[in-house]
Amino acid sequence: MKKIAILGSTGSIGVSTLDIVKAFPDRYQVVALTAGNNIDLLQKQIEDFRPCRVSVASEQDAEKLNRHFKEADLHIGCGVEGMIRCVTLPEIDMVVAAVVGAVGLVPTMAAIKSGKDIALANKETLVTAGSLIMEEVDRQKVNLIPVDSEHSAIFQSLAGQRREDVRRLLLTASGGPFREYRSAQFETISPTEALAHPNWDMGRKISIDSATMMNKGLEVIEAHWLFDFPATMIDVHIHPESIVHSLVEYHDGAVMAQLGVPDMRTPIAYALSWPERLPLTQQSLDLCGIGKLSFSEPDLDHFPCLQLAYDALAMGGTVPAVMNAANEVAVEAFLNHKLSFLGIAKVIEKVMLRHQSKDLTTVDQALHADRWGRHKAQELISGGLT
């Protein structure tokens, strides 16, 4: 019986993880759950899975849950400290890091330091402090298994192969809802349009990141830290069908790929059960029915966020943390109709240009860079950058 904690249980990855736990009750037990503000869903999850500890974003919501579960043997916390207590319980075997944003950095690092295996769906943790996270993974000798479909595909395509034989990693991207837009159409993109992803059911922030292709840029940085290959060996291909989840090319010309229907339960289940595979009741991949798989290069003029991510990785130090922070603020402003779609990349670029990079040696430095990036992005947006 593997005992797990989930950071971000009410998000799309968290919900899918609990679907798998429910399907395999003899293999998995939920010990702890953390959530943000979706208290109604969290309350139902507590009733269904009966964890011993939970944490929410605010003290007010924690008090609300305490009143509802006052007779239950349940510890309820809040904030970062509450998340840390959830993921460091002695009985936990694996932590599913499924929160969105840099908020996942501190609790994920705490879980690694306490010797927990990590199923990582929170790419911003590696973007913000990848060197520190991977150093601690090595130090603690824990497993960090990627959950993102692209990184899970690379992880599987590298299995049993010699890394010195790798020529390049190929991350696939759906291209989002605007891959065929012309330049003038980008001027009037609304949040509603940007949230309508053609293939994947994702949360609001990730959907916008997919629409700008910043999501793929973050994945390039994540792939760099996960697999220890330079950016020059990591390429991106647009693949609208989202069937080939990513590929690895070897020096002899062989290409290994992982294919499957676009359903996040597959990579989640693999991370939970690795090195085994769970017998999921998923739809089979019908290649004959699909008929054609297409690929193209990304248009960096239309999707400058992807290039900004490559630039941040090349600059190194605290720049990726600043870039990620600026993106989170800009996306929130766009969703709240305070910034145009094109303004997202403009804010990120201006924040990066204003930042003086420093070597990253501590988590506190990463958090300071994150705060600086948020403040500078907010300042630019308040100043009227649209």
In a domain, 274, yes or no: no
Please indicate, yes or no, whether residues 220 and 340 belong to a single structural domain of this protein.
no
Each residue's pLDDT tens digit, 346-357: 999 999 999 999
Provide the pLDDT for residue 282: 85
Provide the pLDDT for residue 385: 63
Please indicate, yes or no, whether residues 296 and 168 belong to a single structural domain of this protein.
yes
Q: What's the CATH code of the domain at 363?
A: 1.10.1740.10
How far does Cα 195 stand from its chain's mean position?
17
Each residue's pLDDT tens digit, 185-195: 998 999 999 99
Residue 272: other Cβ atoms inside 10 A: 23
Provide the pLDDT for residue 200: 60
In a domain, 270, yes or no: no
Q: What's the CATH code of the domain at 16?
A: 3.40.50.720
Neighbour-count burial for 360-375, b at 16+ CB within 10 Å, e otherwise:
beebebbbebbebbbe
Provide the pLDDT for residue 386: 52
Which candidate, 267, 264, 285, places its Cα nearest to that of 277? 267
Please indicate, yes or no, whether residues 360 and 332 belong to a single structural domain of this protein.
yes
Q: Which residues contact 42 (CB under 8 A, 6 or more apart)?
A: 9, 10, 33, 35, 54, 56, 65
Question: How far is it, in rounded angstroms, from Cα 49 to Cα 31?
Answer: 8
How far does Cα 323 stand from its chain's mean position?
15
Which candidate, 118, 80, 115, 86, places its Cα nearest to that of 101? 80
At position 367, the amino acid (one-letter code) is L
Please indicate, yes or no, whether residues 248 and 385 belong to a single structural domain of this protein.
no
Say if CB 108 and CB 97 are below 8 A apart: yes
Pairing status of strand 117-120 against strand 144-146: parallel
Below-70 pLDDT ranges, the chain: 197-202, 385-386
Question: How far is it, in rounded angstroms, from Cα 30 to Cα 23?
Answer: 13
Provide the pLDDT for residue 201: 63
Last residue of a domain, one of 304, 338, 369: 304
Please indicate, yes or no, whether residues 165 and 108 belong to a single structural domain of this protein.
no
Question: How far is it, in rounded angstroms, from Cα 205 to Cα 189?
Answer: 16
Please indicate, yes or no, whether residues 80 and 130 belong to a single structural domain of this protein.
yes
Please indicate, yes or no, whether residues 299 and 201 belong to a single structural domain of this protein.
yes
At position 147, the amino acid (one-letter code) is V
How many CA atoms are closer than 13 Å to the CA of 118, on its beta-carbon side? 35
Please indicate, yes or no, whether residues 295 and 326 belong to a single structural domain of this protein.
no
The two tokens of residue 27 are 């293999």
In a domain, 267, yes or no: no
Last residue of a domain, one of 116, 146, 176: 146
Please indicate, yes or no, whether residues 55 and 139 belong to a single structural domain of this protein.
yes
**DSSP H helices in the chain:** 12-23, 39-49, 59-68, 79-87, 105-113, 123-140, 149-158, 191-195, 204-212, 214-227, 265-273, 287-290, 304-315, 319-335, 341-354, 363-382
Question: How far is it, in rounded angstroms, from Cα 369 to Cα 251?
Answer: 38
Please indicate, yes or no, whether residues 137 and 245 belong to a single structural domain of this protein.
no
Q: Is the pTM of this model over 0.85?
A: yes
Question: How far is it, in rounded angstroms, from Cα 227 to Cα 144?
Answer: 11
Full domain range(s) for residue 374: 316-386
In a domain, 266, yes or no: no
Provide the pLDDT for residue 106: 96
Each residue's pLDDT tens digit, 274-306: 999 999 988 899 999 999 999 999 999 999 999
Provide the pLDDT for residue 182: 87
Question: How far is it, in rounded angstroms, from Cα 308 to Cα 269?
Answer: 32
Provide the pLDDT for residue 168: 98
In a domain, 309, yes or no: no
In a domain, 310, yes or no: no
Please indicate, yes or no, whether residues 245 and 227 belong to a single structural domain of this protein.
yes
Query: How many domains does the structure of the chain reveal?
Result: 3
Last residue of a domain, one of 146, 176, 207: 146
Residue 219: other Cβ atoms inside 10 A: 30
Please indicate, yes or no, whether residues 142 and 155 belong to a single structural domain of this protein.
no
Question: How far is it, in rounded angstroms, from Cα 27 to Cα 86?
Answer: 20
Which candidate, 143, 171, 127, 138, places its Cα nearest to that of 360? 127
